[in-house]
Amino acid sequence: MHTNAQSRELNIGAISGPCWPTKSRKYLINLVKEAVVKAQAKSVIIAGHTVDGKYVEAEFRAQLKEHLETFSPRLKGERLDWEKGEFERRFIEEAAAHLSDFLPVLPSGVNWHIAIAERIYDLPIGARILEKLCDLRTDVRIIGERQEDGYYDREPKFPVQFPGFEEIRVLVPHRSPWFSAIITNLVQRITNAWSPRTLSPKPGLVLVGVTGTATHLPYLDGVPTISVPALHKLLEKQATEHMIGATVIRIIANGKEGVRIVNGVHNFRTAAFLEKQVAVSKTLPAVQQAVMHALIPSDASLKTVLHRVNKAESRKRFLRKTKFSDSQVRTALEQLVKAETAIFSKKSNRWAINEELRRNANITLESLWKGSRSVKHVVWSCLHGGALKSLYFTFLQDIPCLADDADALIENGDLTQGIAHTYEYNGELLPIANGVDKHELIGAHLRATAFLTIFRNRLVRMGKAAKEDPSATLEKCLVPYAFKEGNHDAWGYFGKRALILQLFEDRLRTLMTEGVMGICREHGVAVSFEQAKAVVAAKIIRVGESRMVELGGILVGVKHPYKSRTIQKSTRIQQVADFIWRRFDSYVGSVAKEAKAFSIAYVANFHEAAAAHITKFGQTILGVMTGAYLKDTEFENNQDKVVDHGPAVVTARFDTEGRLLYSETEFVSHICEEDRSFVASDRLDSTAVLQRCIKLLDRIGLTLPWR
């Protein structure tokens, strides 16, 4: 794929499993087209299961049998073979033409690039239909060639000409998967089966299709790996499939460090949920609309329809003081069936909304996003203040840049290294941090330095407007910071049962108040001490025992479990999401009474990074697990554990009911040169350690007495 050599960003759309013609939805593929246009994507990859091969093959066999019995009952030998071949050719051509009608033409010369899961999903007949589709359309391409076994490559390469990035490897299953409750199970199984066997070098990105999941594993075997959600109505769960949507991958040039990869996921489960509601035309008479609304929860008998249309909320919707009569409802049902708006099943004695109306529901991105709002969070964890190889200078460099336009900063535990496991003897602590109180003081000054830089940058950007309304200026320029203590912070022996992170919190509030006052005074913004203190107090938030916090009207789960990591990357994310899910009702009932939904969960403590969409009872949750803000420790090195380091930048869009519509995750692994020269050293000497201590204290403006 060619790109402009001067371009600094390349966007690629990806979907999997349109599953034409059975489970496909016209509005879903149209939503993909809108998403591609919105993102200005240069191409779209379909990662397997474009065609429902099993259905098409069964349909072909049934039609062929009927054709031969009707028109050619006496043919034998070569004539029979010729007739079968001709019928198959016509069937393939007709199917390809219908598939072409279903697959929209994308604007600006954007092409569809199709990977074929020929063995178990598209099947050979689906592959032939797709080959014919390529003959009909110049904008449709097949990725990969047929292999020695006669099937299309299930691990094709998608070449990309972009600085620092050469190719995407698309993987699709070739065996029927087992059921698994762990979301990343199938994704990891497919990649683990491929990576030891391939003779190719590491690709820039691995894209996994036909798993029905939306995950982002930024460091799986050292390669960014993204799984693509399904693009059809999910009627059963055979393996891990649960997520409906589309992916937009942003590949951004990043100078000497190669590229940044941002994974954007459109959640179309909301669209699938709304398809029945959208199918109810507002031009219908009131009684017919009421009946159609009564069929939205489920197919229903006459008795159930009568009950639903006469419920208080139904009568209120249609401004009815009296109930709908039995005859009115019967007549409405008959008229709806006659108009093919509804259908009646004699077998079950129930009415239902016509499936074709639901397939072709008029759902657009504009309608889904109407009244929605977007938030940006910068999230990190496990900085382990006081530890030898924490990335202090990288933190001071990165956080002000990443959070310049953020809505909230979230830190999920292990702010300090703490003292246990003989840390005071084994060299894992900086010499200036031989005490838990010093860890907290270093942590407070480190964060105040970064946060005040953000405040200063925002205030300067406001210019003269900053002086007009000082209260609004403080509110706009000071980013909320929520923190949760972790197990390292809670170790009690050396802290003599002191309140966890209380010294840190008090010192941070003091530093921020004084710093805000000083910056405002410097720029002529009239702010009183009481104003600054009150705003700082409101903006520094300790996450409580509920492990939930409301930030700007968005309810967020923040949890730091006291557990070890697991082989399956999504296990801990799913456990935390389930924990918060089950605690949500009591939290809303007692604390955040206005909260409508819970859609984001942040997880940490495992020094691994991953993101996964989790679904339950119609709700979609984005779970993000952040790594550590330190390079490594001797303990983990001795346990053969590689540390995923750096923060996550999370952008999410919610509708008016708090449901997740779209999300972006980026895991930042940058290490600045000041840190790199130290943490990557093969052998540290005392001079380098002492110089690091002096430089750190100077940078964060902290004077520490020796004793």
**389 and 529 belong to one structural domain:** yes
Q: What pLDDT, on a 0 to 100 scale, did the predictor assign at position 233?
A: 86
Q: What pLDDT, on a 0 to 100 scale, did the predictor assign at position 6?
A: 47
What DSSP assignment string belongs to 75-93? --HHHHHHHHHHHHHHHHH
Cβ count within 10 A of residue 303: 10
Q: Are 470 and 520 within 8 A, CB to CB?
A: yes
- The CATH number that applies at residue 325 is 1.10.10.10
In a domain, 284, yes or no: yes
Sole residue written with tokens 């639901």: 358
**286 and 267 belong to one structural domain:** no
DSSP element (H, E) containing 165: strand 165-171
**340 and 448 belong to one structural domain:** no
In a domain, 3, yes or no: no
Short-list 160, 41, 47, CA closest to 107: 41
- Which residues of the chain register pLDDT less than 50? 2, 4-6
Which residue range is the domain that position 340 belongs to? 280-353
The phi-psi region of residue 48 (left if phi > 0; otherwise alpha if psi is between -120 and 50; otherwise beta) is left
For residue 309 the two structure tokens come to: 């249309």
**211 and 319 belong to one structural domain:** no
Q: Judging by beta carbons within 10 Å of its beta carbon (0-12, 13-18, 19+), is residue 247 exposed, middle or buried?
A: buried
In a domain, 362, yes or no: no
For residue 623 the two structure tokens come to: 């779970």
- The CATH number that applies at residue 434 is 3.60.21.10
Cα 143 from Cα 134, distance rounded (Å): 11
Cα 32 from Cα 230, distance rounded (Å): 12
Q: pTM of the prediction? A: 0.92
**305 and 439 belong to one structural domain:** no
In a domain, 235, yes or no: yes
Q: Where is the domain boundary, 240, 272, 304? A: 272
**264 and 239 belong to one structural domain:** yes
What DSSP assignment string belongs to 187-254? HHHHHHHHTTT--SPPPSEEEE-SS---EEEEEETTEEEEEPPB-S-----SSS---BEEEEEEEEE-
**73 and 207 belong to one structural domain:** yes
The residue type at 569: K
Q: What pLDDT, on a 0 to 100 scale, did the predictor assign at position 4?
A: 46
In a domain, 358, yes or no: no
Q: What pLDDT, on a 0 to 100 scale, did the predictor assign at position 315?
A: 76
Q: Judging by beta carbons within 10 Å of its beta carbon (0-12, 13-18, 19+), is residue 196 exposed, middle or buried?
A: exposed
Sole residue written with tokens 């199938």: 186
Q: Are 97 and 136 within 8 A, CB to CB?
A: yes
In a domain, 445, yes or no: yes
390-421 pLDDT, tens per residue?
999 999 999 999 999 999 999 999 999 988 87
**19 and 113 belong to one structural domain:** yes
In a domain, 480, yes or no: yes
Cα 275 from Cα 272, distance rounded (Å): 5
**349 and 440 belong to one structural domain:** no
- What are the φ/ψ torsions at residue 655 (nearest 5 degrees)? -85, -175
Q: What pLDDT, on a 0 to 100 scale, did the predictor assign at position 493?
A: 61
**622 and 501 belong to one structural domain:** yes
**286 and 261 belong to one structural domain:** no
Task: Give the three-state DSSP class for 181.
Answer: coil
Q: Where is the domain boundary, 319, 353, 387? A: 353
**635 and 581 belong to one structural domain:** yes
For residue 26 the two structure tokens come to: 């016209």
Q: What pLDDT, on a 0 to 100 scale, did the predictor assign at position 278?
A: 81
In a domain, 705, yes or no: no
Domain count, the chain: 3
Q: What pLDDT, on a 0 to 100 scale, did the predictor assign at position 694?
A: 96
340-366 pLDDT, tens per residue?
899 999 889 999 998 888 888 888 999
